[in-house]
Structure 1
Amino acid sequence: MTDSQNREKLWKLIKEVRFSMISHTTETQEIHSQPMTMLNSKQMDEHQNLYFILRDSNDLVNAIESGRNHIGLSFAKPSDDIYVSISAHAQISTDPSLIDELWNPWAENWFKGKDDPSVRVLVARAISAEYWNVTDNKITHLFKVVKGSITGKTDEPDADHQKMNL
């Protein structure tokens, strides 16, 4: 595949998953992860930035505003054998037009509306990524596992696997 095709495949995979574990470094240099929902939509058609709404008191906001803005994002959908890891630089935005564009009914559960002064947008600018997408169907994959355990010879599943700089 070309770089452009790999990039398109990456964005298709993460848009199918949408739920991410975002990791950052704490003040004590520990790695902390938390689940968040990616808000990129079909209308935005972003190919570099990922967007998340969060509260100003979230640990990620503190980390990013303290200069610890290198984050990791992990996406997984085991039922479809989709796994993605993204390294990104993050920034926090309070841009009302961006908040308006990303706002959705789920956000209403966490805030007092889009004008709530605690609303922040995490903008994660992807710098590199790696994805794995097993293309074997479930039966073929299971057969390879069983065959490997009987014969002692492992047979890797057919998968799209790609590392890329973005």
Structure 2
Amino acid sequence: MTEQNTTHQEREKLWELIKDVRFCMISHQTNAQDIHAQPMTMLNSEKLDESENLYFLLKDSNDIVTAIQAGHKQIGLAFSKPSDDIYVSISAHGSISTDQALIEKLWNPWAENWFDGKDDPTVRVLVAKAISAEYWNVTDNKVTSLFKVLKANVTGKTEEPNSEHQKLEL
């Protein structure tokens, strides 16, 4: 298998894990060298694009915009879906776009709550280009996991759940 096919498969696996998780925590470094995180709604609707980008609408006054414009372009995105035991951490390069065509493509009724329409001059798009990712995906079903916990309580011997854990270079 070629490296390009492997990367494509890894990107597809990553998308399968996060596609139903609409909210994530995005962290960035502040000018004071602190790490700040805030919840954001991912706007990719169908897939990771071929550039591995994830998209978010935000105001020009948002702390993430300020950080990226100050040169703090490395950001972290954390996705979790506890109901399915899926946890994903993505390291990304952030950039800010005012491309009206991209804003049009990403616009949705939710955005109306935060902006004065698509032409609002404060609308910005955070383009997060995924560099690497790490995921944890417990593959045991809930009954099996519960059984392992109960068995450990009785026997005193813990048994790790069956899970996938992988680091991906994108």
Q: TM-score range by the shorter chain?
A: over 0.9
* Percent of aligned pairs with the same amino acid: 70
Give unpaired runs (5+ residues) of structure 2: 1-5
Q: Is the CA contact (8 Å cut-off) linking 1:51 and 1:121 kept in structure 2? A: yes
Counterpart-to-counterpart distance in 2, 1:134 and 1:15: 17
1:112 — aligned with what? Answer: 116
Which SS does the other structure have where 2:117 is aligned? coil
Q: Structure 1 residue 162 and structure 2 residue 142: aligned? A: no
Counterpart-to-counterpart distance in 1, 2:111 and 2:7: 35
Shift in CA distance, 45/92, structure 1 to aligned 2, threshold 3 Å: same
User: Among 84, 94, 97, which residue is 1:93 paired with?
Assistant: 97
Q: Structure 1 residue 68 and structure 2 residue 72: aligned? A: yes
Q: How far off is 1:7 after superposition? A: 2.3
Q: Structure 1 residue 19 and structure 2 residue 20: aligned? A: no
Q: Structure 1 residue 33 and structure 2 residue 23: aligned? A: no
Q: How far off is 1:45 after superposition? A: 4.6
Q: Is the CA contact (8 Å cut-off) linking 1:84 and 1:130 kept in structure 2? A: yes
Q: How far off is 1:54 after superposition? A: 0.2
TM-score scaled by structure 2?
0.92
Q: Structure 1 residue 58 and structure 2 residue 62: aligned? A: yes
Aligned pairs, how many?
Answer: 165
Q: Deviations over 1:131-157 (max 9, x none)?
A: 111111101011112222332222111
Q: How far off is 1:67 after superposition? A: 0.2
Counterpart-to-counterpart distance in 1, 2:159 and 2:12: 28
Q: Is the CA contact (8 Å cut-off) linking 2:11 and 2:48 kept in structure 1? A: no
Q: Which moved more, 1:155-164 or 1:62-71?
A: 155-164
TM-score scaled by structure 1?
0.94
Give unpaired runs (5+ residues) of structure 1: none
2:3 — aligned with what? Answer: none
Q: How far off is 1:3 after superposition? A: 4.5
Counterpart-to-counterpart distance in 1, 2:101 and 2:7: 32
Counterpart-to-counterpart distance in 1, 2:125 and 2:165: 30
CA RMSD after TM alignment? 1.5
1:122 — aligned with what? Answer: 126
Shift in CA distance, 111/8, structure 1 to aligned 2, threshold 3 Å: same
Counterpart-to-counterpart distance in 1, 2:7 and 2:102: 29
Shift in CA distance, 160/9, structure 1 to aligned 2, threshold 3 Å: same
Q: Is the CA contact (8 Å cut-off) linking 1:6 and 1:162 kept in structure 2? A: no
Q: Deviations over 1:58-108 (max 9, x none)?
A: 000000000001000000010111100000000000000000000000000
Counterpart-to-counterpart distance in 2, 1:45 and 1:69: 20
